[in-house]
Amino acid sequence: MTEFLQQLLNGLSLGAIYALIALGYTMVYGVLRFINFAHSDVFMVGAYIGYYAGQHLPVGTLGGGLLVLLAAMAGCSLLGMAIERLAYRRLRGAPTLNVLITAIGVSLFLESAGQAVFGAAPRTFPMVFPVRNLRFAGLAVSSNQLVVIAVAILLMIALQLIVFRTRIGTAMRAVSLNPRAAQLVGVNLNVVISFTFGLGSALAGAGGVLYALNYPSIDPLMGVMPGMKAFVAAVLGGVGNIPGAALGGLILGTVETFVNGSQWSTYKDAIAFAILIGILLFRPAGLLGRAVPEKV
């Protein structure tokens, strides 16, 4: 029983990270209808920003840790908006295939540039938050895991508030429903799209720092697998749906953890993709999504 609960706890903290990254994917897809492949590499850049920030800011304190988190979120936000401005803006209206290929190109560029600049060998991420190992009822929890869960929940609540209670959030929702109509009622498409990218990338940056806190070894390719799994989580929950991304992340994290702890652990990479294929075959709209019929 203890093992089950412990695995559940492990799954929750892993799932929280997948949820954070999935939120970025889902937001961009909701507004622009394409998968931003480069998202997972923005996540990686967030971890590296956190690494370098951690060397200049006081670490080991709550304040220091929060500063590092904010630095990573701000840096990634700018990066995301720059990518949108330079690579994606000209392709608005182009066939989705072209945008997809460009996204792959940006992703590859960030990965290979990262390898050239940072070196491919892994680096140790500093412990920017104070670390305590807690034990209760036979379960072991690291304070970093709790930080991840807490920050993820807070960011998700903040995101919900922004999307549903602010003007720019309403504009985002309008653009995701019908971009032309939104422009007709005066929404500035460029501003909204930039903001969406900025917000999604900030979440990715936060995810990067939180991931690096729990798994302190960072390298330029660290975003590839978590990115793909987070995308699966987004699809699982229903792409374009914020609570869906959170739910998808939690489910995927938990399932993966249980598979990892069992005798089938060698297949664990395949599990995420099997889930993706399954959900696309049987319930393409995702668990919380609604099937939208395609108008011809």
Partner 1 sequence: MPKPLLALALALLVALAVSHFGDRIDPYFLDVLIGVGINITLAVSLNLVNGYTGQFSLGHAGFMSVGAYASAAITVLLGPRLLGDSGGTTVQQGWLFFAALLAGGAGAALAGLIVGIPSLRLKGDYLALVTLGFGEIIRVVFQNVDALGGALGLNGIPNYTTVFWVYATVAVTVFTVVCLVRSTYGRGFLATRDDEIAAESVGLNTTRYKIAAFVIAAFFAGIAGGLYGHFKLTITPTGFDFTKSIEIVVMVILGGMGNTPGVILAAILLTVLPEFLRPVEQYRMIVYSLLLIGLMLLRPQGLFNLNFGALVGRSRRRAALPPASAQPPAA
Partner 2 sequence: MRPLRLLLLALAVASLILPLGAQTPIKVGEYASLTGKEASFGQSSHEGIVLAFEEIDAAGGVLGRPIELITEDNQTQPGQSATAVKKLIARDRVIALLGEVSSGRSLEAAPIAQAYKIPMIAPAATNPQVTRVGNYIFRVCFIDPFQGTVMARFALQDLKARRVAILSSVSNAYSVGLAKFFRETFRSAGGEITAEPKYSEGDKDFRAQLTAIKAAGADAVYVPGYYTEAALIVRQGRELGLTMPFIGGDGWVADELLQIGGPALNGCYYSTHFSPENRDPAVQAFVKKFRARWSGANPDAFAALGYDAAYVLVDAIRRAGTTDGPALRAALARTRDFAGVTGATTIDANRNASKPAAIIAIRDGRLAFLKTVAPAP
Q: In angstroms, what is the minimal distance from the CB of 130 to partner 2?
A: 14
Alpha helices, DSSP H, located in the chain: 2-32, 39-56, 62-83, 96-118, 143-165, 167-177, 179-184, 189-214, 224-237, 242-260, 268-282
**Out of 2, 61, 112, 190, the residue judged to bind partner 1 by CB under 8 A:** 112
**Partner whose binding site includes residue 133, from partner 2, partner 1, none (CB under 5 to 8 Å by kind):** partner 2
Q: In angstroms, what is the minimal distance from the CB of 174 to partner 1?
A: 23
Q: Is 91 in the site for partner 1 (CB under 8 A)?
A: yes
Nearer to partner 1, 12 or 272 (CB): 272
Which part of the chain contacts partner 1 (CB under 8 A), choosing from 65-73, 130-138, 229-237, 251-259?
Answer: 229-237
CB-based contact 252:18 (threshold 8 Å): yes
**Partner whose binding site includes residue 40, from partner 2, partner 1, none (CB under 5 to 8 Å by kind):** none
Closest of 32, 18, 4 to residue 245, by C-alpha: 18
Nearer to partner 2, 147 or 174 (CB): 147
CB-based contact 71:54 (threshold 8 Å): no
Q: 3-state DSSP call for residue 140?
A: strand
Q: Could you tell me which residues come within 8 angstroms of residue 161 by beta carbon, excluding any fewer than 6 positions away?
A: 169
Q: In angstroms, what is the minimal distance from the CB of 290 to partner 2?
A: 33
Q: In angstroms, what is the minimal distance from the CB of 114 to partner 1?
A: 10
Q: In angstroms, what is the minimal distance from the CB of 131 to partner 1?
A: 34
Give the number of residues in contact with partner 1, rule: CB under 8 A.
Answer: 42
CB-based contact 13:149 (threshold 8 Å): yes
Q: Is 215 in the site for partner 1 (CB under 8 A)?
A: no
Nearer to partner 2, 7 or 170 (CB): 7
Taking the C-alpha atoms of residue 282 and residue 151, their distance in angstroms, rounded to an integer, is 33
Taking the C-alpha atoms of residue 144 and residue 59, their distance in angstroms, rounded to an integer, is 14
Taking the C-alpha atoms of residue 195 and residue 274, their distance in angstroms, rounded to an integer, is 33
Nearer to partner 1, 171 or 276 (CB): 276
Distances 166 to 112, 139, 161 between C-alpha atoms, Å: 38, 41, 7
- Contacts to partner 2 by CB under 8 A: 2-3, 6-7, 10-11, 14, 115, 119-124, 133, 135, 140, 142, 211, 214-217, 219, 221-222, 225, 256-262, 265-266, 268-269
**Chain position carrying tokens 């889930």:** 275
User: For the window 130-169, what string marks contact with partner 1 as x by the rule CB under 8 A?
Assistant: ----------------------------------------
